[in-house]
């Protein structure tokens, strides 16, 4: 949860870029962390639920028109994310990776795990993903997402 991430960042005095002491940068991180619950998390999780979990539970695929509607909802918030939060910066809070970037990318991996490559036609988003993965470590990132990226094997 976001509360736990913030607690851990404070308790263990993580490097400043994760949760910046600079008030303007911290405000950008906080703004994203507050926004993402009903936007990126809400729409990404909904796509994952509709495309993977419901068919798994019911044995029936989701009607294409329902899936199209859910995908469009996610596309709207992805556009907002790019325009409002990424703008022309390397990361959400500026030039360094933060908890906001980590949370954002982790949430976006759910739709990717469901088979929706949301980075494919979004070069700005794809480049941001590459930077976040490099900042975290590509191998660690892949290990952390192994389960969600192989969920179709259920």
Token pair listed for 6: 């913030």
Mean pLDDT of the chain: 94
Per-residue pLDDT reduced to its tens digit, 10-21: 999 999 999 999
Segment 136-149 shows an average pLDDT of 92
Per-residue pLDDT reduced to its tens digit, 63-83: 899 999 999 999 999 999 999
Q: Is the pLDDT of residue 43 over 60?
A: yes
Tell me, what's the pLDDT at 154?
57
| Topology adopted by domain 28-153 | Glutathione S-transferase Yfyf (Class Pi); Chain A, domain 2 (1.20.1050)
Per-residue pLDDT reduced to its tens digit, 93-110: 999 999 999 999 999 999
CB atoms within 10 A of CB 24: 9
Percent of the chain residues past pLDDT 70, beyond the cut: 98
Rounded to whole angstroms, the Cα distance separating 8 from 126 reads 28
CB atoms within 10 A of CB 95: 9
Rounded to whole angstroms, the Cα distance separating 154 from 149 reads 11
Token pair listed for 8: 């851990």
Domain boundary assignment for the chain: 28-153
pTM of the prediction?
Answer: 0.92
| Closest C-alpha among 99, 94, 93 to residue 4 | 99
């Amino acid at each position: 949860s976001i509360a736990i991430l913030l607690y851990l960042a404070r308790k263990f005095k993580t490097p400043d870029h994760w949760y910046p002491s600079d008030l303007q940068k911290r405000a950008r991180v906080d703004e994203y962390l507050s926004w993402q619950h009903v936007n990126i998390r809400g729409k990404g999780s909904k796509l994952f639920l509709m495309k993977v979990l419901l068919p798994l539970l019911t044995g029936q695929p989701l009607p294409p028109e329902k899936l199209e509607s859910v995908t469009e909802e996610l596309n709207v918030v992805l556009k907002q994310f790019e325009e409002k939060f990424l703008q022309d910066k390397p990361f959400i809070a500026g030039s360094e990776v933060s908890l906001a970037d980590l949370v954002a990318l982790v949430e976006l991996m759910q739709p990717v795990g469901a088979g929706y490559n949301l980075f494919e036609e979004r070069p700005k988003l794809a480049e941001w993903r590459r930077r976040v993965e490099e900042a975290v470590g590509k191998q660690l990132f892949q290990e952390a997402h192994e389960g969600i990226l192989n969920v179709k094997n259920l």
